[in-house]
Structure 1
Amino acid sequence: MTYLKSIAKHAMDARFFWKSVPKRLLFEHVPKCGGTTVVKYLSDQYPFSKTYQLDNHQPMVSIQRFKNMPQKERYSYHFVVGHMAHLLKDDVHPEMLKATILRDPIDRMVSHYYYVLRRPTHYLYEQVKREGVSLKDYVTLELSRELRNNYVHRFSQIEEKQMLSHPREALEKAIEVLTEEYQFVGFLESLEADLLRLKHLMGFSESYVPMKANATAGRKKVEELDPQTLKEVEAMNLLDVALYQKICDQRVIGG
C-alpha cells in the first residue's frame, strides 16, 4: 500500500469517532458465495486500523503472519476476514464472533466454472482454456480441492484422503464446527434477509444495500445443465450437498 493510500485509509477511520465499533467479527469468505459483496458491506462497519484482511492470493502467508503476532496485537483486531480466515478462529480475541455465507453447492460449482472462464488472472484459467475443459470435466478432473466438497474440507479441516475414506466423520465434524463455533451462517439465496439478522447480531449502524460484485455473467443455470453433467457435479459434491441441506434445515443464525 502506498503512503497516500495509507493516509486515505486511516483518514476514513475518523468517521468512527462519533459511533461505536460493533462486536468483533471473523468472516470466512468462501469463494463464489457472494463474499465480495458481503465483505464490502462488513468492511465499512469497522475502522481500517482494526481490520485484518488476508491476502486471498496468498492466504497462508497472511495466516502465518497473524499467528506470529504477539497476543496483544492479535487481540487488537475487531474484524478478521478472507479466504481461510477460519484457520485463525483459535488465534483471534476470544470474544470474536464467527460468520460465513454459503450457497447451494451445485450452483456454486457452476458459478465457479464460468467465473474461471472469464477471469484470465485466475490460477485455473490457463489450464481450463487451453484444454477446453467442460463443466463436467472441471469437477471430475479434480483440478483443485476447491472443486470437491469444499465446504466439508474447509470447515472440518480433514484432508481429502481421510475425508473420502471416512465421509460421515468429516461431514459431522464440519456440521459441528458450523453449528457450535459459528454464531452466524447465512445463505446467498436469502442474503438480504440474513444480513439484516447479522446487522442486529453485530450491532452494525448501517444496513446492507443489495448490490452485485464479482458476479459471474453469461453462466448457465443449474436447471439448464444436461443430466449427465448435473449428475457428475452432484456426485463430486455429495458431502457438501448434505452439509448445506443440514445447515439450511437448522437455519444456524445467531441471535
Structure 2
Amino acid sequence: MTFRKKAYSGRLIFDHLPKTAGQAINAWLISELGTGCVTPNLIGEHSDLIRNYGGAYSVISAHVHFQYGETLDPRYQYITLFRDPIDRIVSWLYFVVNNHTDAQLPFLRKACLEFINNGDISLNPRISNGYVEHFSRIGGISDESDEKKIEHAFSVIKQYDVVGLYDNIPGFLSDTATLIGVSAPEKLKGVNITKQRPQMNELSSDMRERIVALNRLDIRLFEMVVAWKNSPDVEEPPQNESLIKYQLTKHERKHYRNTSTVDLRISSATVREGGEFTPGQLMTFDIDISLNREMTNFEIGIHIFDSVGNKAFETTSTALGHSYPLMGAGYYRISHYVIADLPIGKYTAGLSFSERLPQGLKDVFWQDVLYGFDVVHPKDNMFSGHSYLPAALSVAKTKNALVPTIVSNHAGFLRAINPPEQLTAGESTCIKVEVSNSSDCIWQGDTYLPISFSYHWLKSNGEIFLSNGLRSAIPDGGFKPNTVRTGELRVEAPNETGSFILVLTLVQESVAWFEENGFSAAQHTIEIKEPNA
C-alpha cells in the first residue's frame, strides 16, 4: 500500500462525518489540547478551513466539504469515523425531529416527519449516499460511474491516517490518542445525542427499504471499509517520527479583554515619541478622555503585551501610589510614562479605567490593545526576557471641547428604497435606505460607541426571531441635524422559510437602538424561500 507523502506532521484535520459522535470527539480533543490548539466544531470548504483556521490551530475539527478534484493536504494528517449508513440516517432523522422544534427548523423538521411517516421524497438528496459522494470528490471527477466512485472513494479512505468504526469508538480514540501523543479517555461523554429513536431492529420494513434504496452505494462502501479494518493483515500507516518528537501540547486560546461603557469616552490615544524605541528610552502614552459622571476611587492601569500575546508589563495608579478618591465629570488627559527596557520585538499596549467599590472592582473602560510600538536594541546589546519597567503617571484636567457622540435625540425615520419582496433562506443582500435626522444633534458616534445600520427579523405574528442583526457602516460624517442621507444596509436572511418581518433601523453600540427612543424604523414583510425553490 502507498501512503501519502507528508510535508510535516503535527497538524490534524478531523473529517467529522455527520452523526458519528463528532461533537463528543471534538470536546475530548479540546479537553486534551485546549481551545488554542483545537477549533470548535466547524462546517466549511476544505481549502477555506485550512486558509482561515490553519494558522491559528493545530487541529481543525469540522464537517468538511471537498470540491471535485481537490486532494488531501500533505501538511496535514487526517482522521475520520464511519457508522453504519442506515443507522446513521435513522439517527439523523430522529435527531432533527426530537431534538428540535418547528420554530428552530420548520422546513427540515416537517420534511423529516413526512419521510418517516409517508416516505416523502423531498428529503431524498440529503440522505442519499453521503459517504460515497464525500470521499469520491477527493481527487475525483464529477462524471465517474457509480462503480468508479465507490472504488475511488475506498482508495481515498485508505490514505487517511486513522479510520475508525462507530461500533468500536474506543479503538478509534486509542489510535487518535497515539497519533497526537495524549491519553485516550476511559469513556467518551455524549454530546448532541438523539433524544429518542427506534433501534435498528425496531424499524418498519418499509422505512428500512426506503433508506436502503437511497444508500446502496454507501452500504457497499461501508462493507468494504469494515472488511478492510477487520482484516488481520491490514497495513497500518507508518509511524511518524517527527510527530512524536513534536507532540501537541495543551494550549488555551487567549481572549483579549475589551469593555466600554457610556460613563467614559476616549477622544484620542497616541504615543508621544512615535512608534519605535531603544532600551532605556522614555515612552509616553497619552490618552484624552471625558468622564460623563463623577467617579469614586478611580483607578487607572496600563498593560503591555508581546507579539504572541503574553503579558510583558502591567501596573496601576494604585500600585504607583496615586490615589483619585473623587474624579468629577469632565475632560482629562492621562499620560503614562514607561521606560522601554524590553527585549527587541513588537508590542501592544492597552489601558484600563475602573472604580474600586466596596463590592469590588468595576470596569469603566478596558481595552487590551490601544497602541502598537516596536523596541529595537543596538546589535551589541541584545538580550531576551522581560524586565522590570520603571514607570510614572500624571493626570491633568483639561477643557477640550469634544463633539458629543452619545445621541440624546433620536427623532427621525429610516425608509427602504425598493426593498425585496422575497429572499432565499440564508441569502445575503444589500438594501438601499434613506435616513432623515429630524433632531437637533448629529448622529455620528465614535470608535468606541459607533452608530451603525442594523436590523431585526420578526415572525409573522410579531414575535422576535433575530434581535441582533449584522452591522453596516453609516455614511462618513454621520447624519447632521435636519438632513436626509442615503446608505446601504447588508441583510442576511433567516435560514428558515416562511413569512418574516424585516425591521431596518440604527443602533449606537452600548447605548441604544434608535427605535427605542422615538426613531421610526422601516418594516417590510418578506417571504423567505427554500434554496432552488
The TM-score by the shorter chain falls in which range? 0.7 to 0.9
Does 1:48 pair with 2:40?
A: no
Q: Is the 8 A contact 1:41 1:208 kept in 2?
A: no
Paired residues for 1:117-132 under 5 Å: 117-120=97-100, 125-130=105-110, 132=113
SS at match of 2:32: coil
Q: Which residue of 1 aligns with 2:282?
A: none
Q: Which residue of 1 aligns with 2:148?
A: 169
Q: Which residue of 1 aligns with 2:116?
A: 135
Q: Is the 8 A contact 1:116 1:124 kept in 2?
A: no
Q: Partners in 2 of 1:123 and 1:23 — Cα distance? A: 43
Question: Are residues 41 and 90 of structure 1, via their aligned partners in 2, closer, same or farther at CA, if it must alter by over 3 Å?
Answer: same
Aligned length: 220
Q: Which residue of 2 aligns with 1:19?
A: none
The one-letter code sitting in structure 1 at the alignment partner of 2:158 is: T
Post-superposition shift, 1:237?
0.4
Post-superposition shift, 1:119?
3.5
Question: Are residues 108 and 25 of structure 1, via their aligned partners in 2, closer, same or farther at CA, if it must alter by over 3 Å?
Answer: same
Paired residues for 1:142-161 under 5 Å: 142-143=122-123, 145-157=125-137
Which residue, out of 4, 8, 11, partners 1:24? 11
Q: Which residue of 2 aligns with 1:236?
A: 214
Which shifted more, 78-87 or 121-130? 121-130
Q: Which residue of 2 aligns with 1:220?
A: 198
Q: Is the 8 A contact 2:36 2:56 kept in 1?
A: no
Q: Partners in 1 of 2:158 and 2:12 — Cα distance? A: 16
Q: Partners in 1 of 2:103 and 2:137 — Cα distance? A: 22
Q: Partners in 1 of 2:162 and 2:103 — Cα distance? A: 30
Q: Going by fraction, where is helix more abundant, 1 or 2?
A: 1
Q: Which residue of 2 aligns with 1:39?
A: 26
Question: Are residues 203 and 89 of structure 1, via their aligned partners in 2, closer, same or farther at CA, if it must alter by over 3 Å?
Answer: farther
Give me the CA root mean square deviation: 3.3
Post-superposition shift, 1:149?
0.4
Q: Partners in 2 of 1:239 and 1:245 — Cα distance? A: 10
Post-superposition shift, 1:203?
1.6
Post-superposition shift, 1:248?
0.7
Paired residues for 1:42-121 under 5 Å: 42-53=29-40, 55-56=42-43, 59-60=44-45, 64=48, 66-67=50-51, 74=54, 77-84=57-64, 90-91=72-73, 94-120=74-100
Q: Partners in 1 of 2:155 and 2:102 — Cα distance? A: 32
Q: TM-score, length-normalised on structure 1?
A: 0.73
**Residues 209-254 of structure 1: per-residue CA shift (max 9 Å, x gap):** 3322111122001111111211111110011111111011111764
Question: Are residues 137 and 201 of structure 1, via their aligned partners in 2, closer, same or farther at CA, if it must alter by over 3 Å?
Answer: farther
Q: Is the 8 A contact 1:26 1:89 kept in 2?
A: no
Q: Partners in 1 of 2:117 and 2:150 — Cα distance? A: 24
Q: Is the 8 A contact 1:29 1:82 kept in 2?
A: yes
Question: Are residues 24 and 208 of structure 1, via their aligned partners in 2, closer, same or farther at CA, if it must alter by over 3 Å?
Answer: farther
Question: Are residues 90 and 193 of structure 1, via their aligned partners in 2, closer, same or farther at CA, if it must alter by over 3 Å?
Answer: closer
Q: Partners in 1 of 2:37 and 2:152 — Cα distance? A: 31
Q: Partners in 2 of 1:193 and 1:237 — Cα distance? A: 26
Question: Are residues 183 and 208 of structure 1, via their aligned partners in 2, closer, same or farther at CA, if it must alter by over 3 Å?
Answer: farther
Question: Are residues 35 and 121 of structure 1, via their aligned partners in 2, closer, same or farther at CA, if it must alter by over 3 Å?
Answer: farther
The one-letter code sitting in structure 2 at the alignment partner of 1:82 is: A
Q: Which has the larger radius of gyration?
A: 2
Q: Partners in 2 of 1:128 and 1:200 — Cα distance? A: 39
Q: Which residue of 2 aligns with 1:200?
A: 178
Aligned-pair identity (%)? 24
Q: Partners in 1 of 2:161 and 2:49 — Cα distance? A: 26
Q: Partners in 2 of 1:106 and 1:65 — Cα distance? A: 29
SS at match of 2:36: helix
Question: Are residues 76 and 238 of structure 1, via their aligned partners in 2, closer, same or farther at CA, if it must alter by over 3 Å?
Answer: same
Post-superposition shift, 1:135?
2.1
**Residues 65-91 of structure 1: per-residue CA shift (max 9 Å, x gap):** 643x6xxx8456321110016668645
Q: TM-score, length-normalised on structure 2?
A: 0.37
Question: Are residues 150 and 196 of structure 1, via their aligned partners in 2, closer, same or farther at CA, if it must alter by over 3 Å?
Answer: same
* Greater length-normalized contact order (CA 8 Å, ≥ 6 residues apart): 1
Q: Partners in 2 of 1:89 and 1:78 — Cα distance? A: 19
The one-letter code sitting in structure 2 at the alignment partner of 1:117 is: V
Q: Is the 8 A contact 2:30 2:37 kept in 1?
A: no
Q: Which residue of 2 aligns with 1:209?
A: 187
Structure 2 unmatched ranges of 5 or more:
1-8, 240-533
